[in-house]
Amino acid sequence: MHRYLRAVGFSRIETKLQEVRLLKSMEKAPVFGGIGHEEHEQSYMELLCEVGHGIGVILHGYRDTEGRFQREYYFPYMEGLIMTPMEGCHIRRHKDKESYAVLSEEYRLGSALIFFLMNGIEYRERREQKKSSELAGCYLTGISTKGTILLPVQKTERQIQKIKASTRERDQMMEAARDGDEEAMENLTIEDITLYSQISRRMLKEDVYSIVDSCFMPTGVECDHYMVIGDITKIDQIQNTWTQEIVYRLQIVCNGIDISICINNRDLLGQPEVGRRFKGDIWLQGYGVFKEYEK
C-alpha cells in the first residue's frame, strides 16, 4: 500500500483489499487517459483520477492485447502553484519501474536536489519524438503524512532586507564557486566557519527553531525524501470528493525555493496561518516544464 495515499484524503484505507477496491474504481473513472508509448503490442498509459481540486492519484500501466488496463504502479499527487526555474537538470529512469527521477544542482540549497518526476510519460514521449527533453523548471510538491506548525522568527524590516541582500550575495558566490572561482570558494568556507561559530554560541541560550529559520535536509534512506522548514505564504483547503476529508495545500518558501505541501488536516499539528512556518518530512515531486527548441 502506498504510504502517502492518506495525504490526498484516503486515511481510512488500511487494508490491501480496500486499496485494491479503490484503485479498481479509479481505473473506471479517470478524468484523463493517454497512450504514452507502444512497445511489443503493449500501450504504456497514464490514468489520472482527480479526487479534489488539484489532488488525486496517477496510475501507470499498459493496455494488453485484449484492451484491458494492467496497472504497474500508482502514486498520489498534488498540482504545484509556482514554477521554480532550474538549470543543469539530469533525468534518470528508476530501475524497477517506468518512472523517472530528476537530479538538479540547486546552488540555493548548497547540495543536489533530487525529486520524483510526475510527468514521466511526457518525458518519454518527447524523447521518442526527438523533441527537447531539457527542463526549464518544475512545479515542486511535497507530499507529507506528518507536519507541525511553528511560530515565525520575529524580524524587523531592516533585518529582512539584510537577509535578502545576504542571500543574493551568497547565491552569486555559489554560482561563481561552481564555475571554479577560488576566491568565492574561500569566502564561502570562511562564511560557513563563522556561521557555525555563531550558531554554537547561540545554541547555549536559545531554542533551535529560533535560530534555524528554514531548513531543507535529506532524511531517511530514499534520495527524494526531505525534512523541511519553510515560511507559509498561502493556504488552501481542498475537500476529497470521494471521502469528504480535508487536505491542506500549504505554499511555503524554503531556502528561497517555492514548494506546495500536500497534507491531510488529520496529520497536521497546529493551526496553519500565513506567516507561520511548516515543519515536516516530505516526499518531493515535480511536474517538469520542458524547454522548446528555437525555430
pLDDT in tens, the chain (295 residues): 578 999 999 999 989 999 999 999 998 876 665 545 555 555 778 888 999 999 999 998 887 777 778 888 999 999 999 998 887 788 999 888 888 999 987 766 666 789 999 988 888 888 888 888 888 889 999 999 999 999 888 777 787 677 677 777 777 777 777 778 788 778 778 877 887 787 777 777 777 777 777 888 888 778 899 999 999 999 999 999 999 999 999 999 988 889 999 999 999 999 999 999 999 999 999 999 998 764 3
Query: How is residue 179 written as a grid cell?
Result: 564555475
Q: How far apart are CA 61 and CA 65, in angstroms?
A: 13
Cβ–Cβ contacts within 10 Å for residue 75, how many? Answer: 18
Q: How far apart are CA 215 and CA 227, in angstroms?
A: 7
**182-202 and 157-178 are packed helices; what angle lies between their axes, rounded to 10 degrees?**
140
Dihedral sign, Cα of residue 76, residue 82, residue 284, residue 46: positive
Bridge partner list, 117: 286
Q: What angle do CA 225, 226, 229 make, to 5 degrees?
A: 155
pLDDT in tens, 221-258: 788 999 999 999 999 999 999 999 999 999 999 888 89
Give the pLDDT of residue 33.
Answer: 57
Task: Establish how many alpha carbons lie within 13 A of residue 288's alpha carbon, considering only the half-sphere containing its beta carbon.
Answer: 29
Cβ–Cβ contacts within 10 Å for residue 1, how many? Answer: 13
Query: How is residue 245 written as a grid cell?
Result: 476529508
End-to-end CA distance of the chain: 46
Contact between residue 123 and residue 138 where contact means Cβ atoms under 8 Å apart: no
Beta-strand relationship, 135-143 and 257-264:
parallel
**CA proximity to 257, closest of 111, 145, 150, 126:** 111
Contact between residue 110 and residue 267 where contact means Cβ atoms under 8 Å apart: no
